[in-house]
Amino acid sequence: MSLKLAVLGIDHGHIFGMLAGMKAEGASCAQYWTDGPAVTEEKFNSVFPEVTKVPDRRAILDGDADMVLISAVPADRAALAIEAMEAGKDVMVDKPGCTTLEQLAAVRECVTRTGRIWSVNFSERFEVRSAVKASQLVADGAVGRVVQVVTLAPHKQNLKTRPDWYFRRERYGGILTDIGSHQVDQFLHFTGSTEVTVAHALVENTTMPENPGFQDFGEMTLVGDCGHGYLRLDWFTPDGLPTWGDGRLFILGTEGSIECRKYTDVGLPHRTDNLYLTNGLRNDYIDCRNVELPYFRLLTEDIQARTYTAAPQEHTFRTMDVAIRAQMKAEGK
């Protein structure tokens, strides 16, 4: 059975990967709704001309879609997800899935009450082939027990394409909640930690004093029951880089290490999904560009079988909890 999808909110460009990934698994999508103008809308209509805009989201909530994809403004995502789940629909939401602990508690209660799936698409792992290959290597014991995860997540500002909410702290949730949720997801996944202390967290606005709600640098140090982490986020990627950011993932194990240069390899011809592995037997470069991305397939199967193979539901809750708590600690809350 192919899934029927609908879209609530297209405010972030991640909606393109979300919808394309599900359509590649045979899903169909007939309708979208968005709250006011979205900078992505012209491109969305061009890429997905078969998806018709509806003026009232009730048309989607009362319709026959099996799952709703949500890429609205971050602060609005939790409420939309709750509406969708209460209407009997599973949800894939862009990260961050929510921006406050109160929103997270409401989503958790709704999932428990309705039995629906709330999947946050942490695309820096789910949609990155080198990260998927790293998961396979860690699972196979290639680096032994993971001791530490370090993530570096630089981004280009691309100010001409940014909407007003991008500069408003209460709308995007803060840099550690927003971009940081990607990094927390990777830390929890690769270390297997289920109990986490935020030992240090910091956010800054160093380049835009005229926009006091903007944060262009953030970092957190995490101490888990199964490993440690240092996670850095910034909006400082220079224009000379041939992509939006030089994202890197470092995994230190007791018997080896992995580095993923996800989106490019500096100083070399532009090439994505580079992985470097060293251990007692290997000193290898691995080209990961042909590695399968299983998230969308597994999520499709989960919706049909009521399972959680794409991502455990508790992992998704925990990821957002840690990211939000780090943001609060950085802001002295």
Per-residue pLDDT, 43: 97
For 68-94, how does the pLDDT look when each residue is reduced to its tens digit (9 = 90+)? 999 999 999 999 999 999 999 999 999
Would the pLDDT of 160 be above 90? Answer: no
**Residue at 194: amino acid letter:** T
Assign residue 115 a region (left: φ > 0; alpha: ψ between -120 and 50; beta: otherwise): left
Domain limits, the chain: 4-121, 125-293
Per-residue pLDDT, 131: 98
Would the pLDDT of 143 be above 80? Answer: yes
CATH code 3.30.360.10 for 125-293: yes
Label residue 159 by pLDDT band (50, 70, 90): confident
Label residue 1 by pLDDT band (50, 70, 90): confident
Would the pLDDT of 9 be above 90? Answer: yes
Q: CATH number of the domain at 4-121, out of 3.40.50.720, 3.40.50.2300, 3.20.20.70, 3.40.640.10?
A: 3.40.50.720
Please compute the mean of the pLDDT values over residues 95-104 and round it to a whole number. Answer: 98
Per-residue pLDDT, 267: 86
Residue 330's Cβ-count burial label (10 Å; 0-12, 13-18, 19+) is: buried
Would the pLDDT of 216 be above 80? Answer: yes
